[in-house]
């Protein structure tokens, strides 16, 4: 058995969970925060038999879009400016960041 962790955009969460449930996958959703943008995203985890991993990943790929987001970075002070100077940078977020882990043991009691 495998455990899929997928970090996705909040706006894609409902669509991807609906589709996974429709195809018989069990899904749990966690509210998470990206370390770089410091803004909310969604982490879903799915326990799945090894032969179904590719099907789950293709659903995630189909339902999760990549997006451009703008954040602010800081230029360090120079000898003609005081303090850090903020400037905008654009990053591409997602579709999804995915980890697939081995599961040693799975039980429902
Ligand atoms: P964030 O950490 O908020 O990152 C959002 C986007 O900012 C990233 O999109 C990437 O395009 C950019 N970014 C991240 N770190 C950067 C850096 N040090 N310098 C320049 N740009 C940077 P994605 O790569 O699609 O990642 C989306 C979210 O997935 C991340 O949100 C984070 O929550 C998670 N993630 C990505 N890689 C991860 C990893 N190796 N381990 C754990 N979580 C990860």
- Beta partners for 75? 85
In a domain, 82, yes or no: no
pLDDT in tens, 18-54: 999 999 999 999 999 999 999 999 999 999 999 999 9
Q: Report which ligand 1 atom has the smallest distance to the Cα of 43.
A: 33
Residue whose CA is closest, atom 39 of ligand 1?
Answer: 97
Provide the CATH number for the domain around residue 98: 3.30.70.120
Q: What is the mean pLDDT of the chain?
A: 94
Q: What is the reported pLDDT for 93? A: 95
Q: How far is the CA of 100 from the centre of ligand 1 (A)?
A: 17
Please check whether residue 22 lies inside any domain of the structure: yes
Confidence band, pLDDT 50/70/90 cuts, at residue 75: confident
Q: Which domain holds residue 52?
A: 2-65+94-102
Q: Quick check: is 75 in a domain?
A: no
Q: Is residue 87 assigned to a domain?
A: no
Q: Residue 102's CB: how many other CB atoms inside 10 A?
A: 8
Q: What is the CA radius of gyration of the chain?
A: 18
Q: Is the CB of 34 under 6 A from ligand 1?
A: yes
81 part of a folded domain: no
How many domains in the chain? 1
Q: Give the residue-averaged pLDDT of 70-85.
A: 80
Which residue puts its alpha carbon closest to atom 44 of ligand 1? 97
Q: What integer pLDDT is reported at residue 85 of this predicted model?
A: 83
Q: Is the pLDDT of residue 83 over 90?
A: no
Give domain status of residue 59, yes or no: yes
* Residue 43 in contact with ligand 1 by CB distance below 6 A: no
Q: 79 pLDDT exceeds 80?
A: no
CA 80 to chain centroid:
41
Whether 92 lines ligand 1, by a CB cut-off of 6 Å, is yes
Q: What percent of the chain shows pLDDT beyond 90?
A: 82
Q: Is residue 79 part of a domain?
A: no
């Amino acid at each position: 058995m495998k455990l899929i962790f997928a970090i996705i955009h909040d706006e894609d969460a409902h669509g991807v969970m609906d589709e996974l449930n429709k195809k018989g996958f069990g899904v749990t959703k966690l509210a998470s925060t990206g370390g770089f943008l410091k803004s909310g995203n969604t982490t879903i985890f799915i326990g799945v038999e090894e032969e179904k991993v590719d099907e789950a990943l293709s659903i995630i790929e189909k339902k999760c879009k990549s997006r451009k987001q703008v954040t602010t970075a800081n230029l360090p002070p120079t000898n003609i400016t005081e303090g850090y100077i903020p400037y905008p940078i654009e990053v591409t977020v997602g579709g999804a960041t995915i980890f697939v882990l081995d599961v040693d043991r799975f039980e429902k009691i």
